[in-house]
Amino acid sequence: MPGRWILFLLVLALAGCATAKTGGGSSSADPAAALSIGDYRIGPADKIRVIVFGEPELSGEFAVNSGGEISLPLLGEIAVNGKTIEEVRRMVTQGLSSGYINDARVAAEITEYRPFYILGEIADPGEYAYSAGMTVFKAVAAAGGFTYRAKKSTVHIKRAIGGDEVELKLSQELAVFPGDVIRVGERFF
């Protein structure tokens, strides 16, 4: 049992040192590591804040429904699934400028990302809130650490972006994105 606590503290220490890649070079171990949160594609369960300057009644925070849409005053349902936040901002600006508001000025931001999931040989598998700069080590720490049976050299990740589960070498830079499913396998020795 004391060994498990030492491992948990080691994972926490490593998670504190880990940083996610936010662009630039790509890691051969993780084809999606070069993606940044700026490339993020909106999906169900995300929350978006839209601010229409000078029009507080048109501004607010809107949840993306299961169909990938948000419901805005005057504009109604807008399909945002798979769009970047900049694309959403332009869509709202264009929609409001076409007959509702002269020279609409709109800002948009993601206020809450959809959760990620971690399962397998983890102390407390389940759904966890995503935060910027999330790495696999931070995800493992949030889920209570590895079990004693965990394979700590590789993890399986099903990217919300790519769709297929891939086995990746575990490293401090291995990024987690909203909607990802992380599976920690069992070692065989």
Instruction: Show pLDDT as tens, one digit a residue, over the chain (189 residues).
Output: 454 444 333 333 434 443 333 333 333 344 444 455 567 899 999 999 999 999 999 999 999 999 999 999 999 999 999 999 999 999 999 999 998 898 899 999 999 999 999 999 999 999 999 998 999 999 999 999 999 999 999 999 998 776 789 999 999 999 999 999 999 999 987
User: Based on the number of CB atoms within 10 Å of its own CB, is 154 exposed (0-12), middle (13-18) or buried (19 or more)?
Assistant: middle
Domain boundaries, the chain: 2-37+115-184, 41-112
Q: Is 2-37+115-184 CATH 3.40.50.970?
A: no
Q: Do domains 2-37+115-184 and 41-112 have the same CATH topology?
A: no
What kind of fold does domain 41-112 have according to CATH?
wza like fold (3.30.1950)
> How far, rounded to the nearest angstrom, does the alpha carbon of residue 163 sit from its chain's CA centroid?
14
pTM, 2 dp: 0.71
